[in-house]
Amino acid sequence: MTRRSLLALTAAAPLAAPLVTAAGGPAAAAPAAVGAAGPTAVGGERLAQGGVQVRGATGLPRKLTARAWLVADCETGEVLASYQAHQRLAPASTLKMLFADTVLKKFARTERHTVTEADLAGIPEGSSLVGIQPGTTYTVEQLWQGVFLRSGNDAVHVLAHMNGGVPRTVAEMQAKADDLQALDTHVVSPDGYDHPGQLSSAYDLTLFARHGLKNDDFRSYCATRTADFPAGGRKTFQIQNTDRLLTGSWGLKTYGGLIGVKNGYTSHAGNTFTGAAVRGGRTLLVTVMHPAAGSNAVYEETAALLDWGFTQGGSAQAVGTLVEPLSEGGARAGSASTRQNAQGAAGASGAAAHSPSAWRLLEGGAGTVALLAGGVWALRRRLRKASAASGSAASGSAASGAASPGAAASGPESSASGPGSRAAAAGSRPAAGSEPAPGAPAAGESRGRHRR
């Protein structure tokens, strides 16, 4: 390498250094992207802001550990208080509310369907099941009871096949989310099972619940505590709703006035829940996602927020609003970039495990440096030729110090990663699914990795 090549390499290094920083930046910031709300937040700008959002009221529960929560008036759509309303997190079985919003009206309650092996194909291993058997005939009402009471993925898949198949149902669910203006939601499966990129938010789940409660069948199913379910032949067995605030199970008392709607649990999402209750003629919605620990925490924090909403929350001024569906005359909220950000966040979450390492990025930057240096050297060689002797001497000098630029280049990379690591340790939350489950349901409540 000539002296001029070395000079060109030194000059080109600063140009290539930003390539390492730029490529490494998004990978390091992926968790933040999952929680980003986009430049225009649906429902109001305050809902895009971090931290607790409340105005005109005090007394919010102090011991809230959820990564996101929201309290809203079901009738007016006013958001009374929220925390990280648009943070995109794994929804677990609360996504079944969107499934019901999409499919429920398509089949009469009394319609009968005999289940085949094909209807049950493709159910993920470890799914929660209500116990549907091939060859047995069920009414649509019984299938929906399996969905709402036991969060049965087998019931979801049977209804999805009746609807034309899982892929078609997923596409229709995404279209329904778009119509409801639930722009934080990316649907991968109809049942809420853990899949890379399957995301929603406290805001969107509240939209799904509010829309569903306008339907009498939806409202009836989510309020049902127990039901008799076919066991083959003329036999039946009783199923019980896994919503602990509705049934008062696992050490919890029933919440007065509760009317549903849906709970969820997976090892990826932890516990999630959207509940609705009526008191004094007022209906409130509360969504709680990913509390820190304990299988009852999601219910306890929901009950605490409902209590606040019915008391001190009565004086709260809206910090946002639940938007209306586009198909029902709702004004279009957000922007195209909001949807693009939502899809990008879903992709970032699903591909996080495959992100390039800092060393790979550094290798790419070094390759860019080499190409730039070679081009500059070739150009200058045409303009000026050095003597063979001086060229040889310069080459020897460059060879003796060739390791220095590489060592120097690794310094900024190491120091740049330090502050980011300290910032993450100081208080940033992990991306959805990167933490262990906050608290599994009590033994016997569910099967395998996917739970209600």
Q: Give the residue ranges of DSSP H helices in 135-256.
A: 140-148, 153-162, 166-179, 202-212, 216-222, 244-247
Which residue is catalytic, options 5, 82, 127, 151? Answer: 151
The C-alpha atoms of residue 395 and residue 363 are separated, in whole angstroms, by 24
What is the token pair recorded at 44? 């109001």
Angle made by CA atoms 187, 192, 196, in degrees to the nearest 5:
60
The residue type found at 160 is A
What is the token pair recorded at 437? 């489950």
The C-alpha atoms of residue 6 and residue 377 are separated, in whole angstroms, by 9
The C-alpha atoms of residue 343 and residue 353 are separated, in whole angstroms, by 17
426: phi then psi, degrees, rounded to nearest 5: -75, -30
- 200 is annotated as an active-site residue: no
The neighbour count for residue 324, using CB atoms within 10 Å, is 17
Which residue is catalytic, options 96, 189, 262, 349? Answer: 96
- 151 is annotated as an active-site residue: yes
Q: What are 288's strand-pairing partners?
A: 69, 273
Residue 122 DSSP SS3:
coil
The C-alpha atoms of residue 191 and residue 206 are separated, in whole angstroms, by 17
- 105 is annotated as an active-site residue: no
Which residue is catalytic, options 93, 127, 201, 446? Answer: 93
The CA radius of gyration of the chain, in Å to the nearest whole number, is 28
CA dihedral 109, 113, 117, 123 (to 10 degrees): -10
The residues annotated with a catalytic role in the active site are 93, 96, 151
